[in-house]
Amino acid sequence: MATDPDPSLTPPGWTALLSVPLLAAGAAAGVLAADANVSLFRVVNAWPLVTGDAPWASLSVLGEGAAVLSLAAVLIGRRPAALWAIVLGALLVALTLHPLKDLLGVARPAHVLGAGSIHIVGETLSKRSFPSGHATAAFAAVALLLPLMRRTWPRVLLLALACLVALSRLAVGAHWPLDVLAGAALGWLCGGAGLHLARRWRWGLGPRARFVVALLPLLGAARLVLGNSDSLDRQPLHWLLSATGLAAGLAGWRLLLRRDSPPA
Q: What is the pLDDT of residues 102-140, one digit of tens each?
A: 999 999 999 999 999 999 998 898 899 999 999 999 999
pLDDT tens-digit series, residues 160-192: 999 999 999 999 999 999 999 999 999 999 999
Q: Do residues 130 and 179 touch, judged by C-beta distance below 8 A?
A: yes
92 Cβ partners below 8 Å, 6+ apart?
140, 190, 193, 194, 197
If pLDDT is split at 50, 70 and 90, which confidence band does 5 have? low
Give CB contacts under 8 A, 24+ apart, made by 249-254. 249/73, 249/76, 249/214, 249/217, 249/218, 249/221, 251/76, 251/77, 252/73, 252/74, 252/75, 252/76, 252/77, 252/78, 252/214, 253/76, 253/77, 253/214, 254/77
> pTM for the whole thing?
0.92
Does the bond joining 131 to the residue before it have cis omega, within 30 degrees of 0?
yes
pLDDT of the residue at 171: 97
Selected residue with higher pLDDT from 146 and 258: 146
Under CATH, what is the fold of the domain 14-257?
Vanadium-containing Chloroperoxidase; domain 1 (1.20.144)
